Amino acid sequence: MADESRNTISIVGAGFTGTTIAAEIRAKRIFGHVVAFLDDDPGKIGTRIDGVPVLGPVEAAARMIRTSPADEAIIAIPSVTREQLARIYAILRRAKFARIRIVPRIAQILDGEAHLIQAREIDPEDFLARSPVRVNFQKSLAYVRGKRVLVTGAGGSIGSELCRQLLEGGAERLYLFGHGENSIYEIQRELRLLQEEGVGEKATIVPIIGEIQDREYLSFIFFRTKANVVFHTAAHKHVPLMEANPVEAVKNNVFGTKNIVDASRNSGVERFVLISTDKAVEPSSVYGASKLLAEEIVLREKKNGHHYLVVRFGNVLGSRGSILPLFRRQILKGGPVTVTHPETRRYFMTIPEASSLVLKAGGVGCGGEVYLLDMGESVSIRELAEQMIRFYGFEPGTDIPIIYTGLREGEKLLEKLHADSETPEPTGQAGILKLRRKTLINGRITSVLERLHPICFHDPQSPRVFRNRRALRAVLEEVIPGIGPSSAEPEF
């Protein structure tokens, strides 16, 4: 095993974050030693910080300082733009640093300062992300201080990032609810390590293994935990997979949400936030339809002093099951990279930015409302694939081919963030819009749920419709045109 204490580390950025990281490395004395700060600021170049020289500009200094195969560079500029990061990364790559890490962006820093434990390897999505909206966590998370907060799907991409950021909020307890024991184990261990390293506050972290489809257990656990705030992220999310398993999509996403909402209402939860998706807008898939119904279930909960609301956004970069991990695997095996259609476009946001805005919306939002995260401009999936191929040092079409496979069942060429009947309005909060809308199910959500129930759960009075896919789609089509069964739809 390599002796990390012999690593020589150059820190790009001689500001507050860079000097804080350097001090932490010096205090621990096991990860290596800082030999230089690299900076473009003429006012800093030539000075010393705690005995460490500040060299620059970055391009010249990087070539000059790298002398050992063990050399590492840490980019410590939380406000770095996508363009600046691409330039710095290219410089460090040309200088042949053995390892290049980056500290969190502004949207990920909880308490105003980055910590060494948060530094990570650079990912392609770092170059694809737009400049995030800066969120004041202390102010935005005031509503969770001293409260008990429960996150469903806490081991997932959005759920786990919500938990990381909730560390700053001063919650009394943080309940990590999920059905996957490994993912819940991983996030609860990570959170405790972050706390040990001084990140966030000392909320008690409680892992809970369970299913949102288990109605009786949810009722029991909500009365036991006495949660005040709930973030509901748990859902089946893969569009083609849910097209192949439509009954399970509805059972989990619709009735699972109803179970969570009922348990929350009955146990006195004060604030409930459903994480929704642009796939719920004029749905073309069962997944999208299930999320639209989930939205309606939450929005009908209007109770004095309690706020049940929906936060909707598009795709997130780097989430499990998203396109970037797929592209990465395809590139690293030599291609080809598969894109459904050359004109496909999607809205993207980083997981940390989406999570921080969800937390902000959860505090400012009123009950019975849908809030939309400002996703900016949509992104061409073809161009995204080309950028990722170049990140790994290859040329699209020459080294790594791109092939087009055609849209899959339930997929759209273009996604919309709101329906034609919904009007986005400013909220006064950067990055967050409120949708002025009508009830899209026209008050029929109760009857729809009653008809879907014997399809998802066995009822001796209606055994013929149990798990019947055609019956499911027929019920959905009555309130969501275009979701009905096709001639190729099997009955079971």
Per-residue pLDDT tens over the stretch 342-367:
999 998 888 888 898 899 999 888 88
Which alpha helices (DSSP H) does 2-148 contain, by range?
A: 16-28, 58-65, 82-94, 125-128, 137-140
Average pLDDT, integer, range 366-392: 89
Which alpha helices (DSSP H) does 81-197 contain, by range?
A: 82-94, 125-128, 137-140, 157-166, 181-196
Q: Helix, strand or coil for residue 42?
A: coil
229 and 305 co-located in one domain? yes
Residue with tokens 């060299």: 55
| CA 354 vs CA 164, 270, 349, 360, 484: distances in Å | 13, 22, 6, 10, 32
Q: How far apart are CA 208 and CA 184, in angstroms?
A: 8
Residue with tokens 């000059």: 64
pLDDT of residue 351: 86
282 and 396 co-located in one domain? yes
118 and 141 co-located in one domain? no
Residues of the domain holding 474:
445-479
In a domain, 114, yes or no: yes
109 and 160 co-located in one domain? no
pLDDT of residue 94: 86
The total of other beta-carbon atoms located within 10 Å of residue 438's CB is 9
The answer for residues whose C-beta is within 8 angstroms of residue 217's C-beta and 6 or more apart is 210, 211
In a domain, 281, yes or no: yes
Work out the burial of residue 71: count CB atoms within 10 Å of its CB; fewer than 13 is exposed, 13-18 middle, 19 or more buried: buried
335 and 473 co-located in one domain? no
In a domain, 195, yes or no: yes
Average pLDDT, integer, range 64-77: 77
**Residue 214 in this model has a pLDDT that exceeds 80:** yes
Between the CA atoms of 219, 223, 229 and 232, what dihedral angle is there, to the nearest 10 degrees? -20
Q: Where a domain ends, among 97, 128, 159?
A: 128
376 and 234 co-located in one domain? yes
* Residue 130 banded pLDDT, cuts 50, 70, 90: low
Q: How far is CA 71 from the centre of its chain?
A: 32
Q: How far apart are CA 83 and CA 86, in angstroms?
A: 5
170, 111 Cβ separation under 8 angstroms: no
226 and 374 co-located in one domain? yes
Residue with tokens 């499911």: 472
* Residue 148 banded pLDDT, cuts 50, 70, 90: very high
**Residue 1 in this model has a pLDDT that exceeds 50:** no
Q: Are strands 315-317 and 348-350 parallel, antiparallel or unpaired?
A: parallel
In a domain, 487, yes or no: no
**pTM reported for the whole predicted model:** 0.86
15 and 158 co-located in one domain? no
The answer for residues whose C-beta is within 8 angstroms of residue 7's C-beta and 6 or more apart is 31, 32, 33, 70, 71, 72
11, 50 Cβ separation under 8 angstroms: no
190 and 330 co-located in one domain? yes
Q: How far apart are CA 311 and CA 216, in angstroms?
A: 27
In a domain, 485, yes or no: no
469, 490 Cβ separation under 8 angstroms: yes
pLDDT of residue 2: 45
77, 13 Cβ separation under 8 angstroms: yes
Q: How far apart are CA 274 and CA 180, in angstroms?
A: 20
Q: Where a domain ends, among 72, 98, 128?
A: 128
20, 44 Cβ separation under 8 angstroms: no
In a domain, 490, yes or no: no
CATH value at residue 180: 3.40.50.720
Q: Is 291 a catalytic residue?
A: no
**Residue 251 in this model has a pLDDT that exceeds 90:** yes
The DSSP secondary structure of 437-489, one letter per residue, reads ---TTTT-HHHHHHHHHHHHS--TTSGGGTT-HHHHHHHHHHHSTT-SPPTT-
The DSSP secondary structure of 266-325, one letter per residue, reads HHT-SEEEEEEEGGGSS-SSHHHHHHHHHHHHHHT--BTTBEEEEEEE-EEET-TTSHHH
- Token pair of 89, please? 């990364």
The total of other beta-carbon atoms located within 10 Å of residue 421's CB is 11
**Residue 33 in this model has a pLDDT that exceeds 80:** yes
Half-sphere exposure of 41 (CA within 13 A, CB side): 11
Residue 23 or 365, more confident: 23
Write down the catalytic residue from 279, 291, 360, 434: 279
In a domain, 491, yes or no: no
464 and 415 co-located in one domain? no
In a domain, 488, yes or no: no
Q: Where a domain ends, among 75, 110, 128?
A: 128
273 and 362 co-located in one domain? yes
How many structural domains comprise the chain? 3
451 and 425 co-located in one domain? no
- Token pair of 462, please? 């209606």
Average pLDDT, integer, range 238-244: 92
